[in-house]
Amino acid sequence: MRPLLAALLGLLLCAAPASAGEQLLTLYSPPIDSLPYVHRTETVELKPDGKAAPAQPGSILGFQEMALVDSKRPDAKPLPVDKMMVHHFLYYAGGRVDPGPGGCLGGGFIAGRGEEHPNGRFDAAWPPEQRARYGIQNVMHDGSAPRWTLQTMVMNHYQRSKRFFVRTKVWYTTEPREPLYPITVGNCAHLMNGMAYDVPGGGAPGSTFSDRSTWTVPFNGRILGGGSHHHGGALNQTLRSVTCGRTLLDAKAYYGADDHPYNTIRPILHEPGPIANGTFRTLQGIPVTAGETLEREAVHSNAQLHVAAMGFWALHLVRDDTVTPCGPMPTDLREVTVPPVYDTAAPYVFDRLVPQLLAPRGRWRAFDGRRLEVGDQFFAKPRLTARVGQKLTWEFTGYEPHSVTVANGPRGFSSSYLGNTRGRYSFTPTVPGTYKLTCLIHPTTMSQTVKVKRT
């Protein structure tokens, strides 16, 4: 018996991930209040007190869960996405030692959840074998643990204001790990617009619109994983090595079946996003070398308009000077987030019209060349006629952020989707038709219709 026991123990020790000192921390944000049907971005601080963010300096080995709850009971179930839809959570820990190259969102960015993660679980993206070796360095220059910040955008579909907490379950260790660098590879020119851009639409069935950018690899290393963040008529997003002439990653966008909450939720506040975007892992890693040019291409359907679209990659890079230029692709690269159920129609048809939820009232006015005021909860001229080629300029005058965004119409356009409280936004229609506008932040209480006629 004894040798068998020893052998079993030996097996257990070998099989157990070398998870030296790995702990699973359950962290909570301060309470956040959300009004119904308002798309506000809230930013909260997570203090390094062991309750909101790790108290000890160490390494973040992975995120098991990013959930929205209304109770701090450990067994509290996440609120259903058809009541509290998580548009995104973004976690930052600025000022850390060795944050890595960062990418568009900067070296403070550590992780995020998008609408493409309806259940808020990330186990598959942080395998134990990886956690045993690599971690995101979570140490300040003075040796303390950093303060984290959390940006949330949540859509409250309860008809009343709702208080919630963000519960984050993090694998963490105070023992050493090799640094893992989260990098956002996107078109950083879109950063001022919260990384969003508009797909104009109006193309023939099957036509596409692409947003592309390149990124230069700063050091020799391996890409251990990548998650695509892609929405707005999203079809697929690729990551290619221009230098090596090969595709590294190709992420599909997956859409919910007709009965998925994203498709049945009412009112429709924005275009239903994908229920998953391709996420990939490899422990061997994709070899990349300093100076190598990577290009991403986010492909969108251009048959219909899609406003506040996005496409970028969140990559995990580690250093490795043993890689050779254009070295062999890993044999263990796999997609880890294919949803069990999704709409398999191909090509997917984007036929869900975003309604203008408030009918604009008042008399029709002809555009007179003057600026169009956008104030707190109103568009000054809710019903407007204009002509093709006339430059329409809106001026933001409120205390709260608002946007000028096409809900539906012949072509898509939008001012900053984060909203503005001052400044101007212009659009010159080249296509006649009825543009039903809304404010992305206040879709149920603000609207304007612009009828554009031919000259």
Residues that bind Cu ion (CB under 5 A): 402, 439, 441-442, 446
Q: Tell me which residue of 212, 235, 180 sits closest to 59, measured CA to CA.
A: 180
User: CB-wise, 39 or 157, nearer to Cu ion?
Assistant: 39
Residue 445 Cβ vs Cu ion, minimum distance, rounded to whole Å: 7
Q: For residue 414, give both structure tokens.
A: 């939008």
Q: Which is nearer to Cu ion, 270 or 300 (CB)?
A: 270
As measured in angstroms, the least distance from the Cβ of 377 to Cu ion is 7
Q: Where do we find the tokens 């990939």?
A: 280
Q: Decide: 253 and 235 in contact? Cβ < 8 Å.
A: yes
Cβ at position 197, least distance to Cu ion in Å: 20
Element (H, E) at 318: strand 306-319
Provide the minimum distance between the beta carbon of 214 and Cu ion in the complex, in angstroms, as a whole number.
35
Which CB atom, from 252 or from 442, has the smaller least distance to Cu ion? 442
Q: Which is nearer to Cu ion, 130 or 415 (CB)?
A: 415
Q: Which is nearer to Cu ion, 71 or 377 (CB)?
A: 377
CB nearer to Cu ion: pick between 222 and 381 = 381
Least Cβ distance, residue 191 to Cu ion (angstroms): 22
Q: Please give the Cα distance from 308 to 107 (Å, whole number).
A: 24
Cβ closer to Cu ion: 244 or 446?
446
- One-letter amino acid identity for 195? M
* Contacts (Cβ under 8 Å, ≥6 apart) of 219: 290, 319
Residue 362, judged by CB atoms within 10 A of its CB (0-12, 13-18, 19+), counts as exposed
Min separation Cβ 373 and Cu ion, Å: 13
**Shortest distance (Å) from residue 393 CB to Cu ion:** 18
At a CB cut-off of 8 Å and minimum separation 6, what does 236 contact?
230, 250, 251, 252, 253, 278, 299
The four Cα atoms 149, 151, 156, 160 give a dihedral, to 10 degrees, of 50
The helix/strand/coil state of 64 is: strand
Residue 139 DSSP symbol: -
